[in-house]
Amino acid sequence: MKSIVRMVLGIVLGIAIGSAVNMALIMASGKVIPPPAGADVTTMAGLKASLHLFEPKHFLFPFLAHALGTLAGAFVAALVAGGGRQGPSWVVGAFFLAGGVANIVLLPGPLWFNAVDVLLAYLPMAWLGFRLAARAQGAGAGAPR
């Protein structure tokens, strides 16, 4: 029973930490790479209406937010769950992937960005987060203890 509680707690904390990392990077993005002139990025409607003004550089921070948020969340989930369990990291990755797909539906960006985002930012980062946590816990290549 204790291991189930740890896995659920790991998933919840992983989602919370991953979301915080994601939001911090999105909030910082406009300060590092200012939005295009005339773009209203304060609302979903304004963002959708001005998306055509965005250059490839404007998609860097959204990708980093998605990838690093997932990575941090999967890492935390695996650490909290312990025992070399991969499941919590995959659940966190799937959660963020579902959010990424919903984002594509609500805010259709360029096809190249959507493809890179869905293919590289979520499940690969969940796997990497698990591997890093397994290494930090001394589980080597992620073999169960």
Query: Please, are residues 14 and 76 in contact by the beta-carbon 8 Å criterion?
Result: yes
Say if 144 falls within a structural domain: no
Say if 80 falls within a structural domain: yes
Say if 130 falls within a structural domain: yes
Q: Return the higher-pLDDT residue of 1 and 89.
A: 89
Say if 141 falls within a structural domain: no
Alpha helix segments (H runs only) across 33-107: 44-50, 60-81, 87-106
Say if 126 falls within a structural domain: yes
Write out pLDDT tens, residues 34-57.
Answer: 999 988 888 888 888 888 899 999
Say if 100 falls within a structural domain: yes
Confidence bin at 145 (pLDDT 50/70/90): very low
Say if 75 falls within a structural domain: yes
- Cα–Cα distances in angstroms (integers) from residue 52 to residues 15, 31, 37, 114, in the given order: 31, 20, 12, 14
Write out pLDDT tens, residues 60-76.
Answer: 999 999 999 999 999 99
- Give the pLDDT confidence score for residue 1 in this predicted structure: 61
Write out pLDDT tens, residues 85-118.
Answer: 899 999 999 999 999 999 999 988 899 999 999 9
Q: Which domain holds residue 115?
A: 2-136
Say if 17 falls within a structural domain: yes
> How many domains would you assign to the chain?
1
